[in-house]
Amino acid sequence: MIHAFSRLALIFLVGLMMSGPLFADSADDGKKVAFDRTKGNCLACHLMGDGESPGDIGPPLVAMKARFPDRAKLRAQIWDATVANPESIMLPFGRHHILTEEEIDQVVDYLYTL
């Protein structure tokens, strides 16, 4: 009984951490931006979340918080991937105004839920 209760509590806590009230809205918006073919269209190249028929040009976007503890670095990859890799095929979403600064922040919030 106690065991089941603590498991529930744990699930609740993890849930709270993953979609904390601070980020929930922004991360939801970010997911929409990331999946939308006319906006981020990240699924064209990346497996991410529950997105359908993802491409496999870029690496799967998983465990983002563990792999990118530095938010600025993650944001910079999206703003202009050619800084880190001049040959990158990944679109320079910020530099070429494909996404707005706010949309990029939302996408980063979403990535941190993955």
Partner 1 sequence: MMKLKALLGSALLVLVPMAATASPQSDLEAFQAYFHKKFPTVSMAEFGNGTYAIDPSSRESWEAIEEFPPYEPMIEEGENLWNTPFANGKTYADCFPDGPSQRVNYPRWDAAGKRVVTMELAINECREANGEKPLKYKKGELASLAAYMAHQSRGQTIDIKVPEGDADAMAAYEDGKNFYYSRRGQLNLSCSHCHVMYSGSHLRAEMLSPALGHTSGWPVYRAKWGELGTLHRRFGGCNEQVRAKAFDAQSPEYRNLEYFLSFMGNGVEYNGPSSRR
Which residues in this chain contact ligand HEC in the complex, by CB under 6 A?
34, 40-42, 44-46, 57-59, 61, 74, 77-78, 81, 85, 88-91, 93, 107, 111
Residue 35's Cα: distance from chain center in Å?
10
Nearer to ligand HEC, 27 or 111 (CB): 111
Structure tokens at 42: 């990240």
Nearest approach in angstroms of CB 42 to ligand HEC is 3
Q: Which parts of the chain fold into alpha helices (H)? A: 2-18, 24-35, 64-67, 71-79, 101-111
Specify whether the CB–CB gap between 93 and 40 falls below 8 A: yes
Question: Binding to partner 1 by residue 97, rule CB under 8 A?
Answer: yes
Nearer to partner 1, 44 or 62 (CB): 44
Structure tokens at 77: 């990859």
Binding segment toward partner 1, per CB under 8 A, in 3-11, 23-31, 80-88, 99-107: 80-88
Tell me the backbone φ, ψ of residue 48, rounded to 5 degrees.
-155, 130
Nearer to partner 1, 24 or 84 (CB): 84
